[in-house]
Chains A and B, each alone.
Chain A
Amino acid sequence: MEERPGQEEIKLDQNQDLYRVLIETSRELICLHDPEGIYLYVNPIIETLTGFKPGELLGRDPYDFIHPDDRQRIRTDSHNPAKEGRPTVATQYRFLKKDGDYVWFQTLTQPIRNKEGKVTHLNTTSRDVTDQVQLTESLQQEKKFSSIMSELAKVGAWESNIETGILYWSSEIYKILERDPSLGIDRDTVYQKYSYPEDLEKLKENNLRVYQKGETYSVEHRMVTETGRVIWVRTQGKPAYSDGRIVGVYGAMQDITLSKLVEEEIRLSEKKFSEAFHSSGNGIILLDRNGHFLELNQSFAKMLGYEPDELLFKSFQDITYPEDLNIGAEAFRKIINGERDSAQFAKRYLHKKGHIVWVFITGVAVRKDSGELMFIVSQIQDISRKRILENILREKNARLRSVGTHLKERISQLEEFNQIVSHNMRSPIGNISTLVKFLEEAETEKERVEYMDYLKTTSDQLLTTLNEIVEVIKIRQSPKVVSEEILFESVFSRVKAMFLGQILEYEAEIIADFSESPSIIYPQVYLESIFLNLLSNSLKYRCESPHPVIRFKTYWSHGNHILEVQDNGLGIDLNKHGDQIFKLHKRFHRNTEGRGLGLFMTKNQIESLGGEIHVESTPGQGSKFIIHLSKANEFTI
């Protein structure tokens, strides 16, 4: 309010009432303050605006209600100038409401002077501008967001007016093309400086279509920046209308160089993978979670004798050798369940023609970022040839081992013969030489006859032993006696018949069970001799009581063809005699007339055919002879 000359002369009667009504019904907040700002008068609208009654403000300092952040600004912009009688401007600030919220006021403060020109009062008029302030704020926020977004997305706006020829770029486009915004921009500069020559025509065509047909467009093309970098952008254009006429084009431009690069990299790596996949000498397959082939290469199909198309509807289970279905199934399950990411194993596949293909598989899971399985990529290597070589090697090794064992056996045989010659032949020869000397020195005829008798006995003994040894050497040296398929039962019944007298006499029970393996390819003479010696042994070394029970049995165990003979006879103390039981001229019972030849011969016959003989025995409880008639071929493939 302007200072009016002769203010005091106004008569405050009717007019005074009029002013009061005007002030008290005003929608604006009108207050009177002393120069320090203390409220002297507040009009009633204050209650609508803040919730305070006018009386609650009288005598109070307005700064108590002004938001602390705004106080200094009010003091400098408004209060101090007014106090000093200088002109002020309207200021906006937050004013505390009774409910604790703030209301935005726009206030103009004016000084009131007395006659001497001294400022005696201050007058303020305020309006609620909360809505405006909020609108402005949200506008500013929008602007900020849009600027952030355009910066992040590297998107800028542009507009080209066809009539005025003016081209407008938003700041983001200046940034994308690295141009100083203060230089401004025009259409010719764009075409001559920033357009990539090969893509220029495409852009011009698009813009022409907008002008002529009002179509919108979106196109990816290259541009050249201020510093000469070639970048990829996506430009969109739309017609701009005025009074129904197309007056220009506006749109957006986005820098997509980075995603273009990524796209290109993906394309390249896909190409590389595809080349590796199709030209690999190894089989490569992609499997889904059911084990079905999603994709497979030529090498894989060829390995199994199929055309690639024939396999596409199959699963790996379909081509796996049935016995190997379990191999890898566990690993596959774990990969599906996410317990592991890769697996390696060897197994057999079935070729289309039916034969086995040995493969070595390396499978790796390919998962999404979420961990979900996309597919399993597996490399398959044909190792059949390697397997064959390995088997040949294994066979050769086994042969070597077998030759080694054979040699060891030969050496122990030689040692045995050495012993026989030493023990069983040297002693009669020694006797003979002494007896001959005795004979020479004999003084009486009686003595001479006696020595002659001894000589005869000894030389007979020697001859017998020699014949036995010759027999054994024959067995050892001609292991290729004729083998034929023979039934155990038929040989056994013949042998049993030879001992019928003894069996009846001793009331022996002979049990033979050849049901598990009724026949064998073996020299008949040897088998007969083995049965004969073992049966004769068991009968000879029977117990007085109970009655002899002798069991014969044949069966297979770990590829060995076994004959077992068990009796309930005297048994042998193996601790004492274990190493001698199969030796020549050994006996283990005093009151029997064995010559210690049977088991020795039996052992030699069995060993000459590659077999083995062992004995288990407990004195008083009988013996069990276990004979490996044929040993497992240790180099089966």
Chain B
Amino acid sequence: MNSLSKKQKLLLVDDDAIFVEIAKRTIEKTGAVESLKVFQDGEGAISFLREHQSDPDIIPDFIFLDINMPFMDGWQFLDEYANFVNSLSKKPEIYMVSSSVDDSDLRRAKEIPLVKDYIIKPVSLDSFKKILTNQS
């Protein structure tokens, strides 16, 4: 495990405040994170990414994206994101994070090339570690 040398920048898009708290603590424990930014819905995250698209120091390495959000949900986020992904100075790895075990959600996520993987909540410390240290 020599890969902990590089600290990652994270973006968490989720409206569930409790989950966000839990995730923050879990991610902290991985010791692999430099910064963590949280948005309660897709639209805020999109604006943030658009605003900093040319700044590789701010564009995150990973995006953890919830599906079910009240205003702009995960799918809508991906639609918007696809519109400007090519102008990003750096391409984050996107993970869908959802409590949904619905087959149709899993299938849909797999069909989107922008999505690296689909993670079912609750997310364990190990899962976060694997992802953040590229051990998956």
Contacts and interface: CB of A to CB of B under 8 A. Distances in A.
Interface of A: 418-419, 422-424, 426-431, 433-435, 438, 454, 457-458, 461, 576, 580, 585-590, 596
Interface string B62-105: 00000110111100100000000000000000000011111001
Contacts of A434: 22, 26, 122
27 contacts: A418-B102, A419-B100, A419-B102, A422-B100, A423-B67, A423-B68, A423-B98, A426-B99, A426-B100, A427-B16, A427-B68, A427-B121, A428-B18, A430-B99, A430-B121, A430-B122, A431-B16, A431-B18, A431-B22, A434-B22, A435-B18, A454-B18, A458-B18, A576-B76, A586-B70, A587-B70, A590-B71
Interface string B99-126: 1111001000000000000000110000
Contacts, number: 63
B106 to A, nearest CB: 11
Contacts of B121: 426-427, 430-431
Nearest to A427: B99
Q: Among B22, B26, B98, which residue has the most Cβ atoms of chain A within 10 A?
A: B22
Interface string B50-69: 00000000000000000110
| Overall SS of chain B's interface | loop
Given A427-B19, A596-B70, 13 more contacts: A422-B101, A426-B100, A426-B121, A428-B18, A429-B99, A430-B19, A431-B22, A434-B26, A435-B22, A438-B22, A587-B70, A587-B71, A590-B71
A575 to B, nearest CB: 10
A562 B78 CA distance: 38
Nearest to B121: A430
A438 B102 CA distance: 27
Interface string B15-45: 0101101100110000000000000010100
A422 B22 contact: no
A426 B26 CA distance: 19
Contacts of B22: 431, 434-435, 438, 454
Nearest to A455: B18
B51 to A, nearest CB: 17
A441 to B, nearest CB: 10
Given A419-B102, A426-B101, A427-B121, A457 B76 contact: no
A596 to B, nearest CB: 6
Interface centre among A426, A438, A580 (most CB of B within 10 A): A426
A422 B70 contact: no
A433 B67 CA distance: 20
> Dominant SS at the A interface?
helix
B102 A589 contact: no
Contacts of B70: 585-587, 596
Contacts of A438: 22, 25
Given A419-B102, A434-B122, A576-B76, A589 B71 contact: yes
Interface size band for B:
20 to 34
A431 B101 contact: no
A427 B50 CA distance: 29
Given A419-B102, A576-B76, A590-B71, A431 B19 contact: yes
Contacts of A431: 16, 18-19, 22, 121-122
* 8 closest residue pairs by CB, A with B: A427-B99, A430-B122, A426-B99, A587-B70, A423-B68, A422-B100, A430-B121, A434-B122
Contacts of B71: 587-590
Contacts of A423: 67-68, 98-100
Contacts of B122: 430-431, 433-434
A426 B70 CA distance: 16
Q: Which of A428, A429, A430, A438 has the most CB of B within 10 A?
A: A430
Contacts of A430: 19, 99, 121-122
A576 B76 CA distance: 7
A545 B109 CA distance: 41
Contacts of B73: 580
A427 B19 CA distance: 8
Nearest to B17: A457
A225 B96 CA distance: 115
A171 to B, nearest CB: 109
With most chain B CB atoms within 10 A of its CB, the pick from A429, A434, A454 is A434
A457 B41 CA distance: 20
Nearest to B67: A423
Nearest to A576: B76
Nearest to B105: A422
Nearest to A428: B18
B43 A590 contact: yes
B129 to A, nearest CB: 15
Contacts of A580: 73
Contacts of B43: 590
B18 A457 contact: yes
A390 B99 CA distance: 53
Contact of B21 (A424, A454, A576): A454
A431 to B, nearest CB: 5
A589 B98 CA distance: 22
Contacts of B102: 418-419, 422
Nearest to A454: B18
A310 to B, nearest CB: 72
A423 B43 CA distance: 20
Contacts of A422: 99-102, 105
Contacts of B68: 423-424, 427, 585
Nearest to A425: B99
Contacts of A454: 18, 21-22
Nearest to B19: A431
A389 B72 CA distance: 55
